[in-house]
Structures are given as C-alpha cells and as structure tokens.
Structure 1
C-alpha cells in the first residue's frame, strides 16, 4: 500500500516512541496540493493530514517539531492487512492555497506489511457510560473486540489516563479499561481507543456474537488481577 493512498477508512495513527515510552496518536488524512516552490518534497512519499492534536492528561496537545526528534512510525490497515512506515516525519508547509498544511513524509512510498491486532474488531454501535471517579460521560461504541473498544463522545471530555477508567456497557457489564489514544474528528466529536485486560474476555464475549465466543472458547483466568487502569509509567511527556 502507498502512503499517498491512506485515508480515514484505514484508521491511521502515528506511534511516537523514545526508549520504553510510547504514545499512539491517530491522524486524519486530507488532500494537500503543494505549490511549485515546494516541489523538492517530491523526492519523499507523503500524505497530508489535519493538524494533529491529542488528549494528554486532560489537556489538548499538538504534535510539534520536537516530536520529530524521536522515533515515529505510521500505521494503518487495509482489509485484514496492516502496514507501517518507519522513521516518518511530520512537517508544516504552505500549500498551494497559501494556508499552512501538515504532511507526514517518508522515504518509502510503500508500507511494510505488519501485524498489529490480536483480535478482530466488530463494528458495533452501543450506548455506554464512561466512568472516572465521580464523573459519568455518555458515549457510543464504534467497534468492539475481545481486547479493546473504540468509543466516541459528542463533545470534549477531560479523561485523565493515569486514573482508573471503567466502561459500563449496560446489562450488568462494567469493565476497567486503559486509554491508549484519542483523536478529534471533523464533526467536533472525540474518539477514544481503549485496551481491555484479557481477564475480562468473558464479559466482552457476552457483547460479541455468540458463535465467535464459542469458536474462540474464551475463559476467564481467576489468577489474573483486576486492571486498575492506566499505568503512569506507560505514558509520559518527555519534552
């Protein structure tokens, strides 16, 4: 797959890493027309994108040039296959319309085939409640798997990744989750990507299709401890 072919349907995101620290930041691709003065960029493969913002400890942070000094990898999916571009950079240029535009650039046009998902995602829309402390936020699921869930909220909410988070699916099913990434969408809503411990596979199996649960034969391991939420050592800002 070519990097220029990446669209929102491919659910692209950038993984920024430094040592053992890492953070996944979804991006929203867009068409960017370059002026003749920037034709030197033609030697790179690139895809345009909206201004990259993400929720970090309840604050909106923009991806800036400082992140380019760390290792960044672009990931996306196409069908059942995943692709990656290593050592990408994010730059700001003046487009043909004179406005500031953002580009994700790579020295390779075609991505390497890779595998990043352990579980199949099911496009299930279900009303849920996000719980953190005394706060309750109504939300809707976008997709659900045995190991995670994508959730969208209509307006910005301040979730703190370092504090425990639970998702109430209704029908007596409430599980702790880890917030692994978030992104703002064009309609003003926010999308959260959450990871779920394997301890809670039986609960997720009740939500997913019964025949898939039987095929996989999920069983809860009583020795596994409850996931208390996001580990503070898992994500820190290092700039």
Structure 2
C-alpha cells in the first residue's frame, strides 16, 4: 500500500467556492474511482489558512496514476478550469505508514482499512470533530531513532498516545525525514487535553528530550473534516 497527502492552498476567501465546485461536479457517483481510496478531505481550522488537505491510501503508485487519470475526461474540463482558478499552490507527498503497529492502527501487517464501512462512525457528528495534523522534521537518520524511542515507551503512555490516533506516516517522496501524525478529537479542548496529558508523563517527556537534538522543526495544524459527507470516509459512508 502507498499513502499520499495533497495540500491545496486556495486564494484567500475561496474555501466556500471550492466546496461548491465539489457539490456541483464531484458527487459520489462521478467520483467513485477516487472515493474508493480516499481517506478524507480536510480544511484548515487554524494554522495555514485557506488550505485543503487530501489523504489517500493507494494500492500502489500505478493504482494512483490510473485512478487519477480516469478522472481527467473532456466532460470534466469545466471543473478543472474552475478549480484551478481558486488555487495558489499544490503540494504532494507520498508516505509510508509507521513501522510500529501501535502507531498505525488502521494500516499495518494485519490491518488494511479501505473506505466503505466508516471506522470511526461512533466518534460523533463529523461536522463537530477536530483533526490535528502534527509535523516533525528530523535531521537525516533521525526518523529511525524516533521510532526506536517509541518502542521504549511504557504501555500506558503508548495507549494514551494512540487513544484517538488515525495514524503516523513517514514521507518517502517529498520533504524527507518528515513524519505526519493525525489524531481525531471531539473538540479542540479535547485535543489540548491530550497534549497536556502526554506532556505530563515522565517517559513521554524523556522521549521528546532524547529526540530534541534530531528535530529541526515542527508544527501542528488544526483541521476539520470536509463539509461534504462523501469526502470524510473515516467518519461517514461515501455512498
């Protein structure tokens, strides 16, 4: 399996127009080839403004190319022309899931979730959920040491970290030595409570202190699921 993160920076104030285009042109029946591998579309709630993030789980690079190519048809030309007028920048990265099963609860040696049955259907109303996207950048070689630090955490701390974890991913094509981590939360106060809980644990503090010399940057972006039900497969059926 292969994962892809796409980030679209919109012209200021164009988010509503972006979703309106999807409502008009990208209903489930016309987008099925993509939705069958789409983890979710997300919009920035706080952080880099006017940004849309797409996450995909492809069977392979060829699978990604074939599915995306199938959407580029003369009938969809009006959509692409209109959508490109809203964009300032597009960034793409290919990712692998974390090599530790606890850090990739949906995709690992035993599990491979695909859109269909929402895996987090009981999380609450999707419109109210908060998604945190954490990015850590490391010196070359630092990612392997970071994974090894996780393996040394006690079970209680690991369980807290993964309590609402969607997954950890490492970049394989794009800005290398970078890890993306996604958690879902019932609210932003809930997200802050998890951060504070982890910060108060001695072995978590030791993990971060051990890795600090290898970390060269990082940020957390607050996201919210797409307002369109068929573009948030983790939480709702795309049918």
The TM tier, using the shorter chain, reads under 0.3
Greater radius of gyration (CA) = 1
Q: Give the number of the structure whose residues are more often helix, by fraction.
A: 2
TM-score of the superposed pair, with normalisation by structure 1 = 0.28
Q: Give the number of the structure whose residues are more often strand, by fraction.
A: 1
TM-score of the superposed pair, with normalisation by structure 2 = 0.28
